[in-house]
Amino acid sequence: TVNDVITGTVFYGIQLYMHRMSPGSENLPATALVLLNTRSLSKHLSLEDISKDGAEASWGNQFGYIHVPLPACKCIKKANPIDYVLEAQELISKKRSSLSVYLIGRFLEMLRRLRGPE
């Protein structure tokens, strides 16, 4: 998707920045947090339907996030950016379909209910 390409490009830019600021640091482990909208859009409900008590859908978006390790790059100057983006997309796809996204989303929802939306 477009989001995967953008994320992979940002990851590649981070690796280039790390190499430029500290040569050799591109092999150090680095992790990114990727936000996901986990709201299920199986059907569209009108404003009146959502406003009723016991509605099937809730207001707003529901977010989760995943920890994604930045793909390591042995030689950043010779690396093909497209291969790097594809590797980042593969990592995100694996993490996105894991149980951790659901669990983190539920944890964030619990925190929101206990502490408020802020």
Mean pLDDT score, 88-107 = 81
Angle between helix axes 99-115 and 81-96 (nearest 10 degrees) is 70
Q: Quick one: the chain helix, strand, coil %, rounded to 5?
A: 50, 10, 35
Band (84; pLDDT cuts 50, 70, 90): confident
CA neighbor of 96 nearest in space, from 34, 10, 12 = 34
- pLDDT over 80 (residue 114): yes
**Domain extents in the chain:** 2-115
CA neighbor of 68 nearest in space, from 39, 35, 40 = 35
Mean pLDDT score, 81-91 = 83
φ and ψ at 68, to 5 degrees? -120, 120
The DSSP code for 71 is P
Where is pLDDT greater, at 59 or 11? 11
Residues 6 or more apart whose CB falls under 8 angstroms from that of 26 comprise: 15, 18, 19, 72, 73, 76
Band (58; pLDDT cuts 50, 70, 90): low
Where is pLDDT greater, at 8 or 65? 8
Query: What pLDDT was estimated at residue 9?
Result: 87
- pLDDT over 60 (residue 41): no
